Structure formats: C-alpha cells, structure tokens
Amino acid sequence: MSGNKGKIRLKPLHELQSTPEHIELTELKTPEKKKKAGKVRAATTQKKHKELYKNDQQIVANRTAIKRSTRKDQPPNNQLRIDSFFKSAAKTFKVETLPSPSTTKLNINTSQRKPKQKGRKRLFDEETTSESESNLKSVRLPKRAHLPRKAKTVMDLVCIDLCSDPEDVREVKGESPSSEKTIITKEDFQSQVFVTISPQIEPVYSKRQYRSTEKIGSQAPVVESKSLLATAKVQSPMVEIPLQNLAGKTSGTPSEIIAVGASSKENVPIGRRRKSRLCPPYKVIQGTTFAVDGFQFGDIPNVTHYFLTHYHADHYVGLTRKFQHPLYMSPTTARLVRTFIPIDNKYIFEMEIDNPFKLNNIEITAIDANHCPGAIMLFFKLPSGECILHTGDFRASFEMESLPIFWNYNVDLLYLDTTYLSSKYEFCHQTESIDRTLALVREFRKKNALKRILYVCGSYIIGKEKVWQALADEFNLSVWTEPHRRKAIDCLQWPELNLRLYDNEDNADLHILTMGRLSYPSISKNSLPNTTCF
DNA sequence: GCGATCAGTT
DNA sequence: CACAACTGATCGC
C-alpha cells in the first residue's frame, strides 16, 4: 500500500463535530420543572396502559371466559406466540445459501478496468480479505476478536425474530456468507468504526453543546461546514484505514468518509424555550450549497437547496408547512410529503432515480438506497470533478455494485449515514430475510393447522411492504392497517399491495401495526378469541 | 392551534 | 443494554 491508494481517510468525529467557539454550554441537568413534567407524563402513560390493559382483560375475559396472563408481554392463555415458537425452533433451522452472481469470480484485473467497462463492480475484493484483516490489526481494538470470514453454504441460525425488523434478522452464531460476496457489509467497516468513533470522541458532540442561544437567522452562529472540515484536515491527521478491498484501483475508492448521524436526538436541545439548533456540519454537503435531511435548524446559511433522502420521521423532522426552499426528493417521497406535510408544492422537486440533473453546476444523481420505498442515496459530481456520495439510510446489496455510477466515477468523499457498524450486527440479504420469515410461518401454520391465526406485523410508516406482501401472497391473507399507514401505502403506487388491503379490520388476517401497538393488550383488543397471534 | 420538545414504547 | 422510528403529552408562542 502506498499513499492513499486503497485506503479511506476517515475523519474522526471529534474533528467533524468540533464545538464552534460561539456555542454556549447550557445547563447540564434537566430543570426540575421538566423532570416533574416527565414524571407526570410517565405516570399518565402508565395509568393509561393499566387502564387499557384492565379494559382489555375484561374484554378478553368476557369473550373467552379464560383468565389471561397479567404480564403485558405475555399472550392471553388461549393464544400462542409464533415468536417464542420460532425462537426455540430456530436453533435447528437451516438456510441454504444460494450461489449468487457475486460469488462467481470475474477474473477482471481491477487495475486494468476502464471506467465504462460492463460487469459487476467489486466494491469489496474477495481476494483481499486476509490482507485487509492483517492491515486492520493495527487499528483494531485489542480485545475485539474478529469473526471467521470464510463462508459456508449452510449456516446455523441461533436467533431469528419475526417481531424484529426483518432487515435486522441477524446471525448471532455461525458464519456470514457475505464474506465471499462482494457487497459492502457492516463487518467490512466495523474495525474502522470501533477505532474512530469511540466513546471518548462522541461526547465532544454532546447534545447540549450543539445548542444555539440565538435564533437561526442571518446573524446566527452556525457552523460553516466547509471551513470546519478544512480545519479538521489541517489540524489532525486523518485516521488512515486500509480498505483496499473497497472498489477497484481505477474507480470508486472514497478518499474520505464522513460519519453522518441522522437522528433527531443527536443534538437535542434542553429546556422548553424555543431555541434553534445549530446545524451539524455533515448536514451540508462540502463544497456545495446543499443540505441533506437537515430541516430542524431553521434556514441554514449559504444553503440554497434541501434534499430529503426518505420519508422516515428522524429524517424529515423539522419539515413543516413553513418550509420555503427548493426541496428535492424521489417521486415516492414527494407523494408522501404532499400527503402528510402541507408544504407549498412549488418547493417540491422530484428527482428521477438514476437520472442525473444539474443544480448550480453540480451534477446530482439519486440512487435507490434499498431502504424504505422512495429512499435514495445522493451522488454529487462537483465542477472540480470531485464526487461525493451521501448514502442516507441504505442497505448495501450486491445489486448496488452493478450501478454504472459506481463504475464510472470515483467516490472522493462519502457521507455514511449508518448505525449498524458493529460486528454484532450481521445483515443478510433482504430476500433472505423474507424467505426465512415465510419458512417460519409455513412451519407454524403446519403445527397449528386447526387454529385461526391472526398475523400481526409491526411497521413504521413505511418500510415493511415486501414482508407483508410476501406473507399475504403465499398464504392468501387479507391485510388491514391503520388509516394513517393506509394513506402512506396509497402514496407508494404499488398495485400489488392495494390488492391485498381491506378496510375491514375485523375480517383481516394480517394486521400491519405501529410498533407501539404491538403489545398484547393492543393486539388482543383487535383480535378474536381462539386466535393465534404472532 | 401549531410546532417544538420530551418521555416512553416496540 | 443498544437502536430507529415512532406516539402521545406537554409546553411555548
């Protein structure tokens, strides 16, 4: 390895998040009044749940004359939980991993590749795994044992939880098949992150430090991202991370990664007084006047265009009817925004996926992020030739590697918006998650053939459609969801989903519910006696 | 009443 | 314990 070839320079968070001089440190403790309010709220919530549960118990008792468990996380005595079923069953559950195109070696010398060459781009070179590991040793935390990387065709699964996000189905034990696939896996990044984004660094960017005491406005003390980043470069050497397995030598090796946080909690101000927050530097794309998923900071100085990567609450937080700037998003996200947030339509601009367009002489391409419907990554090509990728929330897949844009351009700067960088998170392909779900439900149905089954799928506003569609299709289920989500699903323009959806909650086989309503009191309220839930 | 904020939930 | 992505209650304007 020489220079930065095959390496990513990772900017430590403490540099990116350096506290500007003008930020005042505000009180560290929650004021007593708020504490009290919090307690009152908590008490109210508890009371509400108790009452709900009490009522629910009565309903169930009246219907079934069977006394149900008083534990909230337990099903009524006449109901089974499929999740407990499969947790015990999963230990012997095996999944055959199908050979994927990405496991087939291409025998292409990456150094000889031409930019327009066809074929699958190897974002991670399977040949470099061992080299990568040895190089990473210097930065890996001493106590962190690395996982075996060689794939097997059959893996043992210890824990599969249908109640979890199917995207989160993890292999706690066993070996990942991903090591022989050329996908960007979390594991490939894990070592870097453990070193770079360390607990010692994070507190610098504590909630209270990113707190403005003034209104955001023309004189507002806002972080100037470019200068801050430039300063970071000068003041502290980059953490050099060997990632020679990321992309070929002629294309697509990001020279820098900026860790991006999207959570609304990242710099939550304290107190009730309305004070705007400071915009963290990573919300603004370096060298541009574009802000991504940054709506809770008022008008960000020097930002002319705003982007929304997808319609999830922690990304559109702060986006209200008052918003008055050009706002770019995918067509699907645009329909959702129009439906739920009354922003003047003249500010909403749709970006076609994979269709580059220019803004301020910067070429922008929206790429499918493989997250929820309408979720995109953003690829910026600056006049200088510098290419910047903002991932938003995304799910890496080997299909992504085939995208021409990753073949044709280097990624010089990467805004990586992700949380699951720890080795404890192991992600399989989305289709595999769905297949496992179907297999488990199939097995459950077989064992409970005589029972009526109420299928319950927890969901955010959008994002679980493929799972419940697969269930509905295979088992011919009628689906019901809450009116709010129904409205959102209608925005997706996904006819197959609408075919399955019915307005009648009582007759539906499969309920798509908000996560917060997945507790048994809530579920039972909507279910009939002698019903098996999962 | 709207929007911001916080606590609590899965 | 962690986390994302919520919901609902409360507070400030």
Q: Which nucleotide is nearest to A315 (CA to C1')?
A: C5
Q: Is the CB of A7 under 7 A from strand C?
A: no
Q: If DSSP codes are grouped into helix, strand and coil, which group holds residue A520? A: helix
Q: Is the CB of A208 under 7 A from strand B?
A: no
Q: Is the CB of A302 under 7 A from strand C?
A: no
Q: Is the CB of A69 under 7 A from strand C?
A: no
Q: Is the CB of A98 under 7 A from strand C?
A: no
Does the pLDDT of residue A242 top 90, yes or no? no
**CATH numeric code, A430-533:** 3.40.50.12650
Segment A301-359, tens digit of pLDDT = 899 999 999 999 989 999 998 899 999 999 999 999 999 999 999 999 999 999 999 99
- What proportion of chain A, given as a percentage, has pLDDT over 90? 31
Task: Report CA dihedral (A520, A522, A523, A527) to the nearest 10 degrees.
Answer: 120
End-to-end CA distance of chain A: 52
Q: How far is the CA of A465 from the C1' of C12 (A)?
A: 39
CA–CA separation, A375 and A465 (whole Å) = 14
pLDDT-derived band at A427, boundaries 50, 70, 90: confident
Residue A258 pairs in a beta bridge with: A415
Long-range Cβ pairs for the range A318-322 (8 Å, 24+): A318/A264, A318/A294, A319/A295, A319/A343, A320/A295
Q: How far is the CA of A268 from the C1' of C3 (A)?
A: 17
Q: Average pLDDT, stretch A239-261? A: 40
Q: Is the CA virtual torsion A283, A289, A290, A293 positive or negative? A: positive
Q: Is the CB of A277 under 7 A from strand C?
A: no
Q: Is A397 left (phi over 0), alpha (psi -120 to 50) or beta?
A: beta
Main-chain phi, psi angles of A305, to 5 degrees: -135, 140
In chain A, % helix, strand, coil (3-state, to 5) comes to 35, 15, 50
Q: How far is the CA of A301 from the C1' of B5 (A)?
A: 24
Least confident residue range of A1-15, A315-329, A456-470: A1-15
Q: Is the CB of A318 under 7 A from strand B?
A: yes
Q: How far is the CA of A39 from the C1' of B5 (A)?
A: 15
Residues 346-375 (A) near nucleic chain C, CB < 7 A: 371
Segment A120-140, tens digit of pLDDT = 334 433 333 222 222 222 222
Residue A479 pairs in a beta bridge with: A501, A510
CA–CA separation, A371 and A363 (whole Å) = 23
DSSP state string for A425-442: -----HHHHHHHHHHHHH
Q: Which nucleotide is nearest to A322 (CA to C1')?
A: B3
Closest residue to B9 (CA to C1') is A516
Least confident residue range of A65-69, A202-206, A232-236, A442-446: A232-236
pLDDT-derived band at A522, boundaries 50, 70, 90: low
Segment A144-196, tens digit of pLDDT = 223 233 222 222 222 222 333 333 333 222 223 222 222 222 233 222 222 22
Segment A435-459, tens digit of pLDDT = 999 999 999 899 888 888 888 888 9
Q: Is the CB of A40 under 7 A from strand B?
A: no
**CATH numeric code, A281-417:** 3.60.15.10
Residues 367-386 (A) near nucleic chain B, CB < 7 A: none
Q: Average pLDDT, stretch A211-233? A: 28
Q: How far is the CA of A299 from the C1' of C13 (A)?
A: 19
Q: Which nucleotide is nearest to A277 (CA to C1')?
A: B4
In whole numbers, what is the pLDDT of chain A averaged over residues? 60
Does the pLDDT of residue A395 top 70, yes or no? yes
Q: Is the CB of A516 under 7 A from strand C?
A: yes
Does the pLDDT of residue A415 top 80, yes or no? yes
Q: Is the CB of A44 under 7 A from strand C?
A: yes
pLDDT of residue A260: 64
CA–CA separation, A100 and A3 (whole Å) = 34
Record the pTM: 0.61
Q: Are A463 and A485 in contact (CB under 8 A)?
A: no
pLDDT-derived band at A519, boundaries 50, 70, 90: low
Top pLDDT among A213 and A524 is at A524
Closest residue to C10 (CA to C1') is A37
Rg of chain A, C-alpha, whole Å: 25
Segment A505-515, tens digit of pLDDT = 888 899 898 87
pLDDT of residue A332: 95
Q: Is the CB of A320 under 7 A from strand C?
A: no
Positions on chain B within 7 A of a protein C-beta:
2-10
pLDDT of residue A261: 53
Q: Which nucleotide is nearest to A517 (CA to C1')?
A: B10
pLDDT-derived band at A255, boundaries 50, 70, 90: low
Q: If DSSP codes are grouped into helix, strand and coil, which group holds residue A377? A: strand
Residue span(s) of chain A under CATH 3.40.50.12650 come to 430-533
pLDDT of residue A418: 67
Task: For residue A155, give both structure tokens.
Answer: 């893996």
Residue span(s) of chain A under CATH 3.60.15.10 come to 281-417
Does the pLDDT of residue A62 top 50, yes or no? no
Does the pLDDT of residue A224 top 60, yes or no? no
